[in-house]
Amino acid sequence: MNVGALLGMINGSAKQTTKEIKEIKNYSPPKSEPKENSKITKETKILKKEHQPLKLKEEEALILDNVVETEKEQIIQEPKKREISFSPAARKMAKESKVNLSNIQGTGKHGVVLKEDIMSLMGSKPSPSERKIKYGPEERIKMTRLRLTIAKRLKEAQENAAMLTTFNEVDMSEVISLRDQYKEEFKKNYGVKLGFMSFFVKACVIGLKNFPAVNAEIQGDEIVYKNYYNISIAVGTDRGLVVPVLRETDEMSFADIEKNIGNLGDKAREGKITIDDLQGGTFTITNGGIYGSMLSTPILNPPQSAVLGMHNIIQRPVVVDGNVEIRPIMYLALSYDHRIIDGKEAVSFLKIVKESLEQPKRLFLNI
């Protein structure tokens, strides 16, 4: 064994120990902490060791900034959508013809859509309808008894009556305001919604009382004046139009009218309407406005002599006290049998209905 080498190792180790002693002397220890903290730090160290994820040598830690930057780079690198450009003539033709331009491939320079491209698209044939494919070019279905009865009665009305229609318009502002103001309280007290129909029924009753001929009918060579007011309400169903009767409406409250209209509508849609429900009417109200109708000429419901047509409510400019204002306006149409009702009576009746709706407080006073 080489003694010199051994002595060299001892001297080297001695130098290292002296250096460590000097560093220890210069070191100032931290303030002492409670033992509980030391226990916690030991436990956290153990947990960190236990839950430390396995890392491969080539794996790098995830940095959020890098991810955001890479996403931005991907967004920038995505190709831009092709913007379709049109020639002036093609743009004008497309606007007039209301052609869908999303799938057009332009044949002009740099893909510009030309007038010829629009014309070729307009000339393309659409596919045949599904119903034609399923049932053929024509279908023959036997008419139901209800549809036959409706067709027969409407044809009789046109052939036998001297039917004429007069028109007017009504500002619905006051009715809408009154309805919006009391609809929640009305529903809470009576269990039914306050609709427009009750206002129209009440207004028509006032008009019928002032002009009895509108509530009358012809039987042979006699005119029968009715002193009761049974209003027929037209209801559209899947099977066809039915007109159940609301009886003695002059003795009904607003709540009674709304409840009975709701009940008759449910019976009609469920197919539970009886013959008695359809007979005995003296005047008819039909509301095409629920389907979007702006104006129409309703057909008489024989043997009655008049029918009122309601329509949709549209915001229109009107002159009020010399100023133009936007108001909710409904057009009204009264078709009547000119054999029994003169033009003066028909126009005056419709005017009373209009005034009663524009001043709905009159409906409660029955004037």
In a domain, 343, yes or no: yes
What is the average pLDDT across 310-314?
95
Is 70 exceeded by the pLDDT of residue 46? no
Question: Percent of the chain beyond pLDDT 70?
Answer: 70
Range of the structural domain that residue 283 is part of:
166-365
- Whether residue 341 contacts residue 321, with contact meaning beta carbons closer than 8 Å, is answered with no
In a domain, 78, yes or no: no
Respond yes or no: is residue 311 known to be catalytic.
no
In a domain, 68, yes or no: no
- Whether residue 251 contacts residue 182, with contact meaning beta carbons closer than 8 Å, is answered with no
Catalytic residue among 221, 277, 337, 338: 338
What does the mean pLDDT of the chain come to?
A: 79
Catalytic residue among 110, 117, 221, 342: 342
In a domain, 58, yes or no: no
Question: Percent of the chain beyond pLDDT 90?
Answer: 42
In a domain, 190, yes or no: yes
- The dihedral over CA atoms of 255, 256, 262, 264, expressed in degrees to the nearest 10, equals -170
In a domain, 59, yes or no: no
Respond yes or no: is residue 342 known to be catalytic.
yes
Is 70 exceeded by the pLDDT of residue 187? yes
In a domain, 81, yes or no: no
Res. 103 pLDDT band, cuts 50 70 90? low
CATH number at residue 286: 3.30.559.10
Please give the tally of structural domains in the chain.
1
Res. 44 pLDDT band, cuts 50 70 90? very low
In a domain, 56, yes or no: no
The residues, ordered by sequence, that sit 6+ positions from 138 with a Cβ below 8 Å of its Cβ are none
